[in-house]
Structure 1
């Protein structure tokens, strides 16, 4: 049988069989093999490089995940609830009063049992609608901890760690908790530094010489990590205004919001660096992939309108030689019902008892040096009360607060706040509805007017008045609808 053409041996001409022809043919074959060898070498090198890079990236991410999850055990995982992708869910964020100096010292040490949750925050995250709600729970809230008796809610962490704290807070708030994150104060400082600092707007001076050493002027302040962490600790700076823990919790929510604002406006490299920094200070059940995915879903979020916040309604009470915060259970249930529906925790601004002096989100589009706005004046002597003045504010003198709003008792409540700051304040009615809040002072009492403005956090003008109707008062405040 004849062989097919494809199976026949190659037919060579007489010239190719000659010595010269054989050498030329051999040379061609060598060149061809060299080309194939080069191609194979390049391909193999690329393949090895890709595998090496993939292995390095996998090792890097695995290392970060290991750090993030270092304190997460089966007990904690068992109390966390599942949720459908894209649906709103709750995360528990605990700030632990642990830092490098305490952990390395003999008084506290590194054991979690030596610490309590200094900050307790429920975070409702709604990826689909790009909304986040931060709800602070007062650390001194009185709760019953079963066989452990009646204690403050922040004791749950030292009794049973993250898992027990999560279960207690989930039961207290009446919501399932799907994720957990715990951060120490060094971690907060490191993250703020990683994003280049945050800018907050302070309506009043924040001075805390005896504890944190803070001395911040009212106005826009760009804070580095250490200063931001101290602001989140400085409850005694607000003793003249009321419950310092309430103001501290409000400042914590603002600093977190400012960090979120900076992260969402950053590039992927900054996001990756931030997560890497977090890994050294944060314990969470989430991993790099889920954090990155969640961050991506919130791109384009308007932090000023889409991050809402509030705090559990409580009143202080002295029980068995201990000060507790007693939760107003009816108001708390109403607040959490609103949060569950994606609404602001507060029905109106008057429910936020820390709004007069706590920080607000500043302009984080740039990070200029820490500054307070300068005084603006004209020939009438008017000054912007929210800015610094060449007159040092005074917190004494007689003040009359007049109610020009539709809210009963607002003048009395405002007068009580001024009393707490050192003024002698009285209240009354303006006699008619007033749209704009005003502050007037009698000759020689501009410093008291500045102090009143700072105390109330009012962004209004104050001016000298010769109205004899209010003789006997150094300053007169007329509350308008804008104050409501």
Structure 2
């Protein structure tokens, strides 16, 4: 072999060695990334399975002709915030240990324009509760019948299907916000209230701030600084801020932490595939969210306060939600007056 041929052969071998040295680490990173992504997928699926709880009715709302699926259909999701903290458990011992919803929001998702309607329902809203066959504050529907009773009550009240629900307690809420690194908000009002453990106070000042989990919870829960209508607006702003921050995540590690935080004490009838469908529906959007609220009128019955829903407000919200969900069937006639045979106003049930 000539000297020039030997030289070219050595150069080719050297280039192959250099290529191997460069490509091998890249392959390791690629394989590692795929492996880590697979790990996250399995972890998320496991968390979702642990959080899954089927409703007594099954997968289909009685207000649907057929069951629906995220990404394929327009859907609704009821968000329930329930205070199941140790501090609250002590407070409920005298009342049979029953918990109530402290926050109740119904979100409808339209798959075509990728928009969301978010309805806030004040906790003291005076409605008919089917599971108890009487009218009371909507927050008590959970005490009477858990998630099943609450969904049935909301469907009866707004005359739209509740396809899915997500129930979170306040401990998991704090974890979610903290895992996101806090949420950015223009806080509408200054608040000072007990922390989640009721062992101290938390203050949130009016203005633009980054809130941690405890601060966000205090802002969402505070009841005596304005009114239930304004409280509902604060809760909507917080939900919007959480959604925006979650959609902006570009860290795989952060996403894994968020999945773990959200699923630790969450309950839902969304399967893992359903969750993926919801995420895919909203991918690439700027979170087109319209916030709606049930207006009410203050009313006292036997000396107990209730928020009597304004009929026109409820009618408008019903029509908006039906249109957003693409429902063309005629709305059911309201039966509140016909079923209002009992007004349960025991003191322990109206705290």
Q: Is the 8 A contact 1:86 1:128 kept in 2?
A: no
Asked whether 1:95 is paired with 2:84, we answer no
> 1:127-142 maps to which residues of 2 (within 5 A)?
127-142=111-126
Q: Is the 8 A contact 1:79 1:163 kept in 2?
A: no
> 1:270-419 maps to which residues of 2 (within 5 A)?
270-303=254-287, 306-342=288-324
Residues 134-189 of structure 1 show CA distances to partners (whole Å, capped at 9, x for unaligned) of 10112111123355422111111111111121011111101011111111111111
C-alpha distance in 2, partners of 1:151/1:206? Answer: 29
CA, structure 1 residues 297+271, in 2 after alignment: closer, same or farther (shift >3 Å)? Answer: farther
Judge which range, 150-159 or 58-67, deviates more. Answer: 58-67
CA, structure 1 residues 192+222, in 2 after alignment: closer, same or farther (shift >3 Å)? Answer: same
CA, structure 1 residues 151+308, in 2 after alignment: closer, same or farther (shift >3 Å)? Answer: same
CA, structure 1 residues 76+164, in 2 after alignment: closer, same or farther (shift >3 Å)? Answer: farther
C-alpha distance in 2, partners of 1:209/1:167? Answer: 32
> 1:207-222 maps to which residues of 2 (within 5 A)?
207-208=192-193, 213-222=201-210
CA, structure 1 residues 144+274, in 2 after alignment: closer, same or farther (shift >3 Å)? Answer: same
2:234 to 251, 254, 259: 251
Shift of 1:53: 9.2
Residue matched to 2:248: 265
Shift of 1:61: 4.4
CA, structure 1 residues 233+89, in 2 after alignment: closer, same or farther (shift >3 Å)? Answer: same
Please give the secondary structure, in 2, of the residue aligned with 1:236: coil
C-alpha distance in 2, partners of 1:277/1:209? Answer: 23
Judge which range, 328-337 or 82-91, deviates more. Answer: 82-91
CA, structure 1 residues 316+296, in 2 after alignment: closer, same or farther (shift >3 Å)? Answer: same
> 1:110-259 maps to which residues of 2 (within 5 A)?
114-145=98-129, 147-208=132-193, 213-238=201-226, 243=227, 245-259=228-242
Q: TM-score, normalised by structure 1?
A: 0.53
Q: Is the 8 A contact 1:76 1:162 kept in 2?
A: no
C-alpha distance in 2, partners of 1:308/1:53? Answer: 37
Gapped regions of structure 1 (runs ≥ 5): 1-48, 344-484
Q: TM-score, normalised by structure 2?
A: 0.71
CA, structure 1 residues 55+172, in 2 after alignment: closer, same or farther (shift >3 Å)? Answer: same
Q: Is the 8 A contact 2:117 2:289 kept in 1?
A: yes
Residues 337-362 of structure 1 show CA distances to partners (whole Å, capped at 9, x for unaligned) of 1233349xxxxxxxxxxxxxxxxxxx
C-alpha distance in 2, partners of 1:167/1:183? Answer: 18
Number of matched residues?
282
Shift of 1:91: 0.9
C-alpha distance in 1, partners of 2:218/2:163? Answer: 29
Asked whether 1:63 is paired with 2:63, we answer no
Let me know the Cα RMSD of the aligned residues: 3.1
Residue matched to 1:44: none
> 1:426-437 maps to which residues of 2 (within 5 A)?
none
Please give the secondary structure, in 2, of the residue aligned with 1:186: helix
C-alpha distance in 1, partners of 2:307/2:250? Answer: 42
Gapped regions of structure 2 (runs ≥ 5): 1-31, 326-351
> 1:456-475 maps to which residues of 2 (within 5 A)?
none
Question: More helix per residue: 1 or 2?
Answer: 2
Larger radius of gyration: 1
CA, structure 1 residues 55+129, in 2 after alignment: closer, same or farther (shift >3 Å)? Answer: closer
Please give the secondary structure, in 2, of the residue aligned with 1:175: coil
Q: Is the 8 A contact 2:80 2:104 kept in 1?
A: yes
Q: Is the 8 A contact 2:181 2:212 kept in 1?
A: yes
Q: Is the 8 A contact 1:92 1:166 kept in 2?
A: yes
Shift of 1:79: 4.2
Residue matched to 1:371: none
Q: Is the 8 A contact 1:192 1:198 kept in 2?
A: yes
C-alpha distance in 1, partners of 2:36/2:259? Answer: 20
C-alpha distance in 2, partners of 1:229/1:334? Answer: 30
